[in-house]
Amino acid sequence: MVFFKEIDRFFPVFLLGGVISGFAFPSFFQPYEPYVIYIIMFIMFLLYLKVDALDILTHMKNPILILYVTFFNLILLPIITFFLFKNTDTELHSALVLLAALPAGVTAATFTDIMKGRGSLSLTITLVTNLLATMTIPFVFFILFNTNLTELVNIQVLFFGLLKVMLIPLLIAKLFKYVFIKKWIKNLRDYYNPIILILMSFMIMCCVSSHASYILGNYQSLLKILGILFLLFFMFQLLGYFSIFWKAHKGIKLAVSTSTMNMNNVLGIVLSIGFFPPMVTTIMILSFIPWTTIIILKHWYKKYLP
């Protein structure tokens, strides 16, 4: 059990293992793809158990930083991406802007915690950006591409769907804290990150497996796109870290930059399947490769960041 508690030290193995296994055994993981949403909800449940709700409320009582990060992530970052990559083809351009417009992913708080950042701040950013993204994503595409996604995306359904994913785990976690002894839950905190890593790895396997055959069969034509995705994620990392230049606390910077770069890829896949050409979905799946790589590299070079 001691080894299990220390398993998050080997998180690169889980990230790379998830991507490699998804490509290597697509037929095995494809049937489990419909359960990804429930995996996300269970991850949120564990995060709520681990992070005290009072810590989240503390950040919400001082909302200026949260509002600034939310505006930067959901509005400013897609605009920057739009103009920097406007010379790329239409499908790639749309995919890059969609990636930039996505809210923070549910695992952002876990990686922030592993990197000794402020996990409660990262979780707060995740909650706020996921709820507001139902309005900002259609707004961004309408302004930048003159595309009225509200005719394609049912905003009400998307909003309440995200609300369900965010709030149901919160209510269940609160119930657990009241029903079970808080000390017992506290003693299990060392096991939350390892469980989340295992679930996240399985989630990556399921997502990657859905387009694995196409990507492997056309890898030569996709290498340029993969290189652009690496550049994009590295840009997300740098802009996220230095966007709050007035904050000297490294833990806050790590929380913000991790939340910026660790976006909700699953939401991006869902939107791309429903409302974009098939190539956009392929690019969303392909983004898991630079996503995992940059997270691993950040863990190694974070000590050199100011």
The domain segmentation of the chain, as residue ranges, is 2-304
| Residues 126 and 108 sit within 8 Å (Cβ to Cβ) | yes
pLDDT at 76: 92
Predicted confidence (pLDDT) per residue in 214-226, tens digit: 888 887 888 888 8
Predicted confidence (pLDDT) per residue in 85-120, tens digit: 888 888 888 889 989 988 887 777 777 777 777 777
Number of C-beta neighbours around residue 79 at 10 A: 15
Band (pLDDT 50/70/90 cuts) for residue 304 is very low
Q: Where are the alpha helices (DSSP H) in 62-211?
A: 63-71, 77-84, 90-101, 108-114, 119-145, 155-179, 182-187, 189-209
Quick one: DSSP state of residue 72? I
Domain 2-304 matching CATH 3.30.70.270: the answer reads no
CA–CA distances in Å: residue 298 to residues 13, 99, 122: 15, 19, 16
Kindly report the pTM of this predicted structure. Answer: 0.80
Two tokens at 139? 């707004």
Predicted confidence (pLDDT) per residue in 142-186, tens digit: 888 776 555 555 556 666 766 777 778 878 877 777 766 555 656
Two tokens at 17? 């293992």
Predicted confidence (pLDDT) per residue in 63-85, tens digit: 788 888 889 899 999 999 999 98
Predicted confidence (pLDDT) per residue in 195-241, tens digit: 877 888 888 888 888 888 888 888 788 888 889 999 998 888 888 77
